[in-house]
Homo-oligomer: A and B are copies of this chain.
């Protein structure tokens, strides 16, 4: 039971948590002017990208439980940013409304600025390695 000193700032896992908290907080600030959350912006991007995507599809793509989509999509729908169209008696396709596309366009600007700021913070020699390293941590091998 030696009182080993563990320097947490040298642990990639700790740095990952701190970096994510710090950066996502900054993105949240940027999006707060549009009154949308980071998770909502992400979902809107996917809805905009895909054709006939359902709530379950989005949940699978984001690797979160589909139960969490319910309040999130309800809020987006209540605000007139998304619409649903029945695909059959069970599934509903999600689509952005005109207003939703407008908000997403603005969100995209903020996201672009955010991503630029993020990359700018990373010193040159490490820059190109960040994305593939992070992808390896969450994408299936």
Name A residues whose Cβ lies closer than 8 Å to a Cβ of B: 1, 3-24, 27, 38, 42, 45-46, 48-49, 63, 101-102, 105, 108, 111, 114-115, 118-119, 121-123, 125-127, 129-139, 141
Chain A residues touching B, majority SS: helix
Q: Which residues of B contact A24 (CB under 8 A)?
A: 13, 16-17
A130 contacts which of B12, B27, B48 (Cβ < 8 Å)?
A: B12
Cβ contact within 8 Å between A130 and B133: yes
Question: Least Cβ distance of A96 to chain B in Å?
Answer: 9
Q: Which residues of B contact A19 (CB under 8 A)?
A: 16, 20, 134-135, 137-138
Q: Which residues of B contact A15 (CB under 8 A)?
A: 131, 134-135, 138
